[in-house]
Amino acid sequence: MTVLDAGANVGLIGLRLASRLRSLGGGRVLLVEPIPANAHLIRASIRENGLEPLCEVFEVGLSDKSGSATLLAEGGANRSGNAGLLAPRRFRRGLTPIEIPLRTLDQLASDDGPPGIDLVKIDVEGAELAALRGGIASVTRSRPLIFGEFNPALMERHGGALPQVMDLLGPLGYESFVVTGTRELTRMRPVRGLADVLSAVPERLAPLLSPGASGWSLRASPGDPLPNPARR
């Protein structure tokens, strides 16, 4: 199994997945994190936990084209923290500009990665639409599960919106679900605030929903009201 962790931060999720894959016999985790301090911490954790055979770190940002950009980071390049390509209104002071290289998900998959990706976890501070557009060939080819944290306010500041992500993935056979509880899925409806969303094609979704297989469940039918998933 191959996992791409886009917006890995300090590796809490990606390294946990790598440890799990090791216990299952092996796999690969590609951790994408543009903040130098965070990438340094990830590499140190990989060494300390003996995960070098499973992990590779890419100190880049993901977008729909390669190039470079200025990242605005809280605490500067030598401290881990939140960052984005645009300054949030409430964090204008204390942000440090960091020049970062940009690559596309398709470039990572073709140049440095395996032929297929099984799971994409994405949390890139509002730039999710551009990142997924830059990976559309890989998504079409591999049809991975896509789990993302989406903040509509941040996406709007990047010129995107969650419905545009659904429009991008829908023609490829994806259905999207809001994660409304512990391993509970609700079919996608308009949401307010921060939302965890799982997008999957039928052949990837079926094993998740098989009784006793993984503990995931489909909570609501299409006509049922959707709880507000906002947590902040």
Please check whether residue 143 is in contact with residue 204, taking contact to mean a CB–CB distance below 8 angstroms: yes
Q: Give mean pLDDT, residues 64-90.
A: 68
Per-residue pLDDT at 143 = 95
pLDDT tens profile 181-204? 777 888 877 667 788 999 999 999
Instruction: Determine the 3-state secondary structure of 118 from DSSP.
Output: coil
Q: Give mean pLDDT, residues 156-177.
A: 92
Q: Does the structure show a pLDDT above 80 at 59?
A: yes
Q: Does the structure show a pLDDT above 90 at 136?
A: yes
Per-residue pLDDT at 81 = 53
Q: Give the CATH superfamily of 2-66+105-220.
A: Vaccinia Virus protein VP39 (3.40.50.150)
Confidence of residue 25 (pLDDT cuts 50, 70, 90): very high
Per-residue pLDDT at 158 = 87
Q: What are phi and psi of 58, to 5 degrees?
A: -120, 115
Pull the structure tokens for residue 112: 């440095």
Per-residue pLDDT at 84 = 62
CA–centroid distance for 132 within its chain? 9
Q: Give mean pLDDT, residues 154-172.
A: 92
Per-residue pLDDT at 211 = 72
The strand pair at 175-181 and 28-32 is best described as unpaired
Per-residue pLDDT at 4 = 96
Q: Does the structure show a pLDDT above 70 at 226?
A: no
| pTM, two decimal places | 0.86
Domain spans in the chain, listed from the N-terminal domain onward:
2-66+105-220
pLDDT tens profile 94-119? 678 889 999 999 998 876 555 689 99
Which one, of 6, 18, 19, 29, lies nearest residue 118 by Cα? Answer: 29
Confidence of residue 92 (pLDDT cuts 50, 70, 90): low
Q: Lowest-pLDDT range, 64-78, 106-120, 158-172, 214-228?
A: 214-228
